[in-house]
Amino acid sequence: MSLEVTQTVPFKYEKTIEIDRLLKGYKDIVNLCIQELIRLRKTSLKALHDAVYRKLKAKYSYQTSFYVTAYRVAIQTVKAWRKTGGETPRIEKLFAKVSPLAYKFDGETLRISIKPKQFVYLKLKYGSYQRKFIEAWKRGELKIGEIILNERYVIIPFKRVVELTKPEGYIALDLNENCIVGVSDKGEVKRWDCSYIGRTRAKYEAIRAKIQRNVANHTRKFKRLMAKYGAREANKVKDFLHKLAKQIVKDTKKYNLILEDLKGLRSSTNKRKKKFNRFNGKVQSCSVNPKGFKHRWNSFPYRKIQFLLDYKKRLNGLETHYVDRAYTSARCSVCGSEIKPKEHLCPKCGLNRHVNACLNLLKRFGVAFSPTPQPRNDSMSHALTIQPKAGMRTSMARGEREVGRHLNLSNLPTG
């Protein structure tokens, strides 16, 4: 069995007047399509095409594939808007999706057909990272799909077919703010430190607060400083996430991953309910979770971590499976007791909360594994010992102590 894996690679290029006109025209086309979809109250590709194609062709006369990609962008935007609500959507950033029918690539130059018999040639700039994809593409190992063109980069998706291999086992991962804990079906427990993300967020949040106190808002200097430090924070977190995912994939070797299905986590984090305000006598909508918790968890890139783990596993011919996350940490997999949100251990059997979540994920996926619970004793140095094999030593200490192999990536530079 095989599967297709896509890796998007950015290439710098020299911007021209023709490309600038294309990007602005594409933005106007997408916004016009969004307005038409809202007027029609539909998200049908055919209905949109019938309503706007002749008008767009007469005004812009672009290659037809540009309109088709713009239709899809507009439909996705309207669907997201209907789901989340808010103001009428409008595209502000300059970009264009270019179909394989509208470009030709030779490894060095990208030729884009904007209008009939009218082409734009882009000379791509790339380094060693991009060169290895170009060489693999020339050897026929990779294929190219629909590219994205913005003001700075040409983003090219390279597709490769990977043969799936039979896994040696399964390992479930529990994602938390400060660490990621994994338990395999063979009883091995691992922990990876990701507290660097929270520290980096807090550091640059303090920097932005200082800028807001000392620099007048909405001035050029203010915008330049906010953009500078915002990009620096994003780059540091992105770099760490890639290193973290690479290390996890390396340590889990030939295991398939089992992750929590975190769909709807943002909504549950920001959930509100109506309460009676005894001071003004009104029923008001109040947040269920504390402000600090919402701020930290909303800024934690858990979906990005899962995405990186998924695609890096696919590149190695392995799969990632998702299971329901409900009550995986709250219900003890050994004794069935309830573990409250602020408790690190099961109050009855002493099972660690994060290990318990992993065991519940394994159980729900159908890979049952029963640890040997230890009697609760506050003087013990650990709360749980898993003994599936002779000679294997894996323990979880009270709170957040080291479990198995502790891979600390937090010593990255913070300057």
For residue 412, pLDDT over 50 is answered with no
For residue 387, pLDDT over 50 is answered with no
Burial of 143 by CB count in 10 Å (0-12 exposed, 13-18 middle, 19+ buried)?
middle
Query: Out of 112-116, 310-314, 398-402, which region has the weakest mean confidence (pLDDT)?
Result: 398-402
CA 115 to each of CA 56, 112, 175, 233: distance values in angstroms, whole numbers, following the listed order: 13, 9, 49, 40
For residue 405, pLDDT over 70 is answered with no
Distance CA 194, CA 328 (A): 21
Q: How are beta strands 179-184 and 169-175 bridged, if at all?
A: antiparallel
- Residue 319 CB neighbours (<10 A): 16
SS3 category, 323: strand
For residue 415, pLDDT over 90 is answered with no
Question: pLDDT confidence of 372, banded at 50, 70, 90?
Answer: low
Give the DSSP H or E segment for 193: strand 189-193
pTM value surpassing 0.75: yes
The two three-digit tokens of residue 292, written as one number? 């600090």
Q: Which residue is associated with the tokens 């030939």?
A: 254
Q: What is the pLDDT of residues 163-222, one digit of tens each?
A: 889 999 999 999 988 899 999 988 889 999 999 999 999 999 999 999 999 999 889 999
The two three-digit tokens of residue 328, written as one number? 């995986």
**Res 382: pLDDT:** 31
Domain layout of the chain by residue ranges: 2-163, 169-408
Q: What is the pLDDT of residues 246-302, one digit of tens each?
A: 999 999 988 999 999 988 777 777 888 888 888 888 888 888 888 887 888 788 898
SS3 category, 111: strand
- Residue 399 CB neighbours (<10 A): 10
List beta partners, residue 121. Answer: 111
Distance CA 309, CA 210 (A): 35
87: CB partners within 8 A, 6+ apart: none
